[in-house]
A and B are shown apart, each in its own frame.
Chain A
């Protein structure tokens, strides 16, 4: 009996030890779907379209990957909401089950590199963007998509209609991989599903009250902000901007106002004697940084440095801020009569520029990338193809306010035109069209260290805001960037 008890005791001890260790070593849980909103009737009709086309053209088989599972990681964004809302139709069409995870933007940027670096294929599809494809492509985390786009067994070429995309937006997600050049050529790393240009939005009634014109220069912007702040007083501020210490703030808010002040091809890096040199401490950029931060200090809300884009968008809709220079897609929130206090009161203008120069405003495309380590690449491509198809994008834009669409057919669709024609009292479509045609460009040099370069720039802007002389702050930041690029061996190809 004692021997049996001895054996039993040892077995229990081993079981507890092994079980505890195994518990700690268990793999990350597969993302599971959270509760999803019911798809709208329009969504049902629209997402049946690819199926209808499949019956007319039976050679393309949407059920080819039935039974597969695809995991997504997404940013909290109207784009994600539109995809999640229509997800049941994708699953019904293809027989592919989809799991997803959604994170706020800054947390997403922290998590995705870690998840991708594990190279376990935990996520099959993830949101990326033109500038993000550079480090991700170099790291081997992104699957090149040209093979999928050109293969009639994997893409319903006729229905997908690649030529329907605005070509510059598709090209923005192409890169040869050559540091310092090659954007727009080479490998297609991701498919754009949303595009943002950057506009000035302002309260038209207050501008009229104070005799202000839409700001054409950064000085105009500063003067308008200060006038509104001094005129309205109290809790009213002349301008609100996102201010978190991140490269996104620089790209979304500062550069649209300041890029035209630079004298080099790109405002961040220039190639000098075959090496990269940080140039955001050049004279024009210093002037712009000084004026921009002074505007935020004198006419913006306190706590600017902790305002995210979610905050800035929401704050402007309260009617307590006279202007905002940020993403054009925020207009969908400003013009929402149910939730916005400024609906119908906002007008839109091209961002300011240096006197005598054309505006230069950033462009950002949210795109869908296919993880190179995915175990279900064909199924993942089916999801990307479906999500970026004309019908799904139309529903996403019209019903879920995923602005702006990167497809011409969607941007010019009568429903979308009717929806946006009145925005900004007619100024929205005009400003967006003109910006996309003439002024929008990628304002960063293509290389793999963009996150550091942008973050360090944001840190310098914070220092200037808190009182450090602009030239000194930017000189120090530029020196840090030069040192970092040298340490990382980032040299132009």
Chain B
């Protein structure tokens, strides 16, 4: 048997089942578009969360006359916490320098003060584990209750909001994905069966005529996967542009495309086996 035969049969399968393939292509396109968009949006939120997290910290401000032992005790308690990355004690003088560095435009204002007007504090930088379970809020309340602490402030609010949005998006995406698969699997299998049934006699006949049907089976798998491959390539091109613009990785898109391609090959083989 020659390769030419398989190509001709491939074309024949498409010609005969063109309406099925067109319908499946639309289903593939919408499926991949929706899930790729969700994934890219999730990746974008991850990027935003990361950026916001990088510049976020908590400040525990102390009274001027706070006992250094209390400050040290709070620092020593905080440092080994698993959600904490780094703890730095900032004296009044260091706070003044810090202000000048962070707000150089207003550093001239500081000249009117003999002494540093800023309170001593400890600066806490959390790791990502701190985003869950309202830990940052709980710690804020915890530090506020110390008598030597005058104020506790943090700028994790944006990171926390993005984190919550990301978490919700993940759950919605997962729910959508599972619900979708419940409909997608039988629908796709049914179309595959109907395409295969049109070829069933040919498969049997080929063996009766004395030739292996393996090549024809591979042709069927290729034919049934081809619309998805074409749609996948299109999606890949579109989302490659999106990922370049939003500076997000394309890797998850590859995963979702590979997942659906694998599913398609499994469906085709399952239809052939049965």
- Judge: A and B partners, yes or no: no
Report A's interface with B, CB cutoff 8 A: none
Report B's interface with A, CB cutoff 8 A: none
